[in-house]
């Protein structure tokens, strides 16, 4: 179990209940309509948050989770990755009153720190002063959300429940209790598939007619590694940053933990001259890392062991449509739009699904047909846009952030944004620090990139931005927006 969660104690009950009643007063569910028992497949981050939202609208919620209760897991079983929580995620957590408690154990990262092959560092802030994304432990966050869900009288979470089959016509689940080996058939009224990138619920929809679906893998895998804590749980690298070792065709990143360590991830080709396929012995791993990540290797005492003990994991983008089956089934989160992790938006997008659904529940009460329809139609373009942005950001992180011209362009964009704050919000900020629909952010970003391609030929240094002819060009571009 990551050390940061050992002493993690939310002041759970009282503020939550207070918060719930406050919301209930401002947006009561329509009175005449009876509550339903809803079924949520998946007790991960999105499944738990979804259950919390649904119960606020007066529904009973049954949550089925395939894995054992993570709160009883040993540290090895619960080996966690870190996620970058940002504004969309925070808003969703605030909606059920748990944001502040999470914030206590989240580490703000104000920018990227790039490590070049000689060990030189370059800083690039993520946004304006005070803005940050937050490193949180996935397992720790999941534990707390399970605690919260189970404290609600309307929510029941069952673990070790593997969904073997969904019969969407009969509205029945074939569930296997993997702890006891017992199989049973469970009827459902309304089913929410929050069961992740390999969703069993989506698997059932995929076999219905006219279900569009794709799963596409990058030729890259990833490997989790660790930068050890320094003496007295201090951080061996700058704590409040996301560290990147960009190397063109591959990269390593590191996110801080509360105990002084960093969770590192190597994103690396599966095949080719420099790839997982060619690193076969501890000596090869050590030599390679010493060569390309020289400043990191001394901080990674378990490097060879971790490299061969930890799995190599794949990177998939999942797209599908529809996200519904009639008025009975709805997919959310990774189940409908799994994305690669390079924009730090996978969890945030799934949490935002809950925000959007909550708004529709407030608007339409129990009119599930309308709610499901509006949800999938409005949300699908945003999910597609975010999937594209995530793949794009991999190129940016592993390659372009090592390019001085790219870094200069980012600085100029920052200056434009400072001078014309109403006309220019950087794409990264639109995605990370705003609630603009992802599809709008992507379109804005593409328009901004075209402007920068017109401006940058006139700019060789940061100071050039103040030159009158550059100022004129910028003013002309801004006048058109």
Binding site for its own copies (CB under 8 A): 206, 209-217, 270, 314
Q: In angstroms, what is the minimal distance from the CB of 40 to its own copies?
A: 23
Are 211 and 328 in contact by the 8 Å Cβ rule? The answer is: no
- Between helix 346-364 and helix 87-95 the angle, nearest 10°, is 40
Least Cα distance to 49 among 157, 162, 189, 175 occurs for 157
- Our CB check for its own copies shows the closer of 151 and 214 to be 214
Q: In angstroms, what is the minimal distance from the CB of 211 to its own copies?
A: 7
Extract long-range pairs of 339-343: CB within 8 Å, 24+ residues apart: 339/386, 339/387, 339/390, 340/218, 340/315, 340/316, 340/387, 340/390, 340/391, 340/394, 341/315, 341/390, 342/390, 342/391, 342/393, 342/394, 342/396, 342/397, 343/386, 343/389, 343/390, 343/393, 343/431, 343/432
Q: In angstroms, what is the minimal distance from the CB of 198 to its own copies?
A: 8
**Residue partners of 179: CB distance under 8 A and separation at least 6:** 68, 159, 160
Q: By three-state DSSP, how is residue 185 classified?
A: strand
Q: In angstroms, what is the minimal distance from the CB of 313 to its own copies?
A: 9
Q: Cα–Cα distances in Å, from 416 out to 48, 424, 470?
A: 41, 7, 11
């000689």: which residue's tokens?
Answer: 118
- Our CB check for its own copies shows the closer of 128 and 314 to be 314
Q: In angstroms, what is the minimal distance from the CB of 210 to its own copies?
A: 5
- Our CB check for its own copies shows the closer of 134 and 220 to be 220
- Our CB check for its own copies shows the closer of 10 and 211 to be 211
What is d(CA 159, CA 151) in angstroms, rounded to the nearest whole number? 16
Q: In angstroms, what is the minimal distance from the CB of 213 to its own copies?
A: 5
Least Cα distance to 356 among 15, 91, 76, 33 occurs for 91
Region for 406 from its dihedrals, namely left if φ exceeds 0, alpha if ψ lies in -120 to 50, beta otherwise: alpha
- Our CB check for its own copies shows the closer of 213 and 308 to be 213
Q: In angstroms, what is the minimal distance from the CB of 164 to its own copies?
A: 11
- Our CB check for its own copies shows the closer of 135 and 265 to be 265
- Our CB check for its own copies shows the closer of 215 and 395 to be 215
The number of beta carbons lying within 10 Å of the beta carbon of residue 118 is 7
Are 245 and 115 in contact by the 8 Å Cβ rule? The answer is: yes
What is d(CA 14, CA 11) in angstroms, rounded to the nearest whole number? 7
Q: In angstroms, what is the minimal distance from the CB of 321 to its own copies?
A: 10
Residue 248 dihedral angles phi and psi, to the nearest 5°: 80, -90
- Our CB check for its own copies shows the closer of 95 and 221 to be 221
- Our CB check for its own copies shows the closer of 217 and 308 to be 217
Q: In angstroms, what is the minimal distance from the CB of 304 to its own copies?
A: 24
- Our CB check for its own copies shows the closer of 7 and 212 to be 212
Q: In angstroms, what is the minimal distance from the CB of 81 to its own copies?
A: 18
């Amino acid at each position: 179990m990551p050390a940061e969660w050992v002493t993690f104690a939310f002041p759970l009950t009282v503020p939550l209940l207070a918060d719930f009643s406050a919301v209930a007063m401002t947006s009561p569910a329509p009175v005449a309509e009876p509550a339903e028992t809803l079924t949520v497949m998946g007790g991960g981050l999105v499944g738990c948050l979804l259950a919390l939202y649904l119960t606020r609208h007066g529904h009973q919620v049954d949550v089925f989770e395939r894995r054992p209760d993570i709160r009883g897991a040993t540290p090895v079983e619960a080996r966690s990755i870190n996620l970058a929580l940002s504004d969309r995620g925070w808003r969703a957590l605030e909606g059920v009153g748990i944001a502040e408690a999470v914030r206590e154990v989240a580490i703000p990262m104000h920018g990227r720190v790039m490590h070049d092959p000689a060990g030189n560092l370059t800083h690039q802030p993520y946004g304006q002063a005070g803005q940050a994304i937050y490193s949180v432990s996935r397992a720790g966050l999941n534990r707390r959300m399970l605690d919260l869900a189970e404290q609600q009288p309307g929510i029941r979470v069952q673990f070790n429940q593997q969904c073997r089959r969904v019969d969407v016509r009969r509205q029945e689940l074939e569930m296997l209790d993997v702890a006891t080996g017992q199989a049973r058939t469970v009827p459902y009224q309304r089913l929410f598939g929050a069961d992740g990138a390999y969703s069993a619920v989506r698997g059932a929809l995929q076999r219905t007619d006219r279900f569009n679906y794709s799963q596409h893998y990058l030729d890259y895998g990833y490997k989790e590694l660790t930068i050890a804590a320094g003496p007295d749980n201090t951080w061996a690298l700058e704590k409040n940053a996301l560290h990147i070792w960009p190397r063109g065709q591959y990269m390593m990143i590191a996110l801080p933990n509360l105990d002084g360590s960093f969770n590192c991830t190597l994103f690396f080709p599966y095949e080719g001259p420099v790839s997982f396929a060619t690193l076969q012995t501890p000596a090869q791993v050590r030599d390679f890392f010493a060569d390309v990540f020289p400043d990191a290797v001394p901080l990674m005492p378990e490097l060879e062991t971790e490299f061969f003990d930890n799995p190599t994991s794949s990177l998939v983008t999942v797209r599908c449509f529809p996200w519904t089956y009639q008025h009975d089934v709805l997919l959310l989160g990774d189940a409908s739009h799994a994305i690669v992790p390079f924009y730090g938006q996978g969890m945030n997008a799934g949490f935002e699904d809950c925000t959007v659904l909550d708004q529709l529940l407030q608007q339409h009460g129990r009119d599930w047909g309308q709610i499901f329809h509006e949800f999938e139609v409005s949300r699908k373009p945003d999910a597609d846009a975010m999937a594209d942005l995530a793949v794009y950001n991999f190129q940016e992180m592993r390659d372009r952030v090592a390019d001085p011209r790219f870094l200069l362009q980012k600085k100029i964009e920052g200056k434009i944004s400072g001078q014309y704050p109403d006309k220019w919000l950087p794409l990264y900020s639109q995605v990370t620090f705003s609630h603009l629909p992802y599809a709008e952010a992507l379109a804005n970003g593409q328009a901004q990139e075209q402007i920068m391609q017109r401006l940058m030929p006139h700019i060789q240094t940061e100071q050039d931005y103040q030159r009158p002819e550059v100022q004129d060009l910028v003013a002309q571009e801004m006048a058109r927006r």
